[in-house]
Amino acid sequence: MKTEYTYTVFDGNSIFVRGTLHDVVLKIKRKLGDNSNNPLLIFSDETGKTMDFNFQGSEHDVSKRLEVFVSNVSSAQEGPGRPRLGVVSREVSLLPRHWEWLATQSGGASVTLRKLVEAAQKGSFGKNTAKASQEKTHAFMSAIAGDLKGYEDALRALYRADKASFETHTQTWPKDIRSYAKELTQGAF
């Protein structure tokens, strides 16, 4: 099950385009034409972080570069395990007493560890969601809104989980920046 991530591109204070990486990269290249300087900011909707991409050359060159980039990201995510089932094998370091306990559990170590992780995720889901939302909103705000009035107060409100104060301090921001920051805060308050 492959997840296709989305991106939002800002041209100054306004959203230029939103969509998959393939869509936004090609639309940016068409806008830039032969000019390879990219004044646009590409933000990952998943992380709020900016992404750099080389727009030099023709649209065909950019498409090929994009294929290589996507291929490299995909192959870095694959590895041992059962990829068709979404299982990824990684190393886990435990103390001997932990391994001994796992050996006594029905289903084996992998099944038991998966069950423990699932239970932990359910117990801390809200806290993890809030933290992830705060981090991606912070990443976005740092890249584009650092010089805007109320930035520091909005950041403090974000980490205090004070939605009303966050909205007050971002009220004077350009519409698209304000609305995208608000969108990224889903789950933060």
pLDDT string in tens for the chain (189-residue length): 456 789 999 999 999 999 999 999 999 999 998 876 778 999 999 999 999 888 888 999 999 999 888 876 665 555 555 656 666 677 888 888 888 888 888 888 888 998 888 887 776 655 678 899 999 999 999 999 999 999 999 999 999 999 999 999 999 999 999 999 999 999 899
With 0-12 / 13-18 / 19 or more C-beta atoms within 10 angstroms meaning exposed / middle / buried, residue 66 is middle
Q: What pTM value is reported for the model?
A: 0.72
pLDDT computed for residue 161 by the predictor: 94
H helical segments located in 105-184: 108-144, 151-160, 163-169, 175-184
7: tokens are: 């991106």
pLDDT at 34: 82
Please report the pLDDT score of residue 1 as a whole number: 46
Cα first-last separation, the chain: 30
Give dist(CA 17, CA 29) in Å, integer: 12
Cβ(136)–Cβ(46) below 8 Å = yes
pLDDT at 109: 87
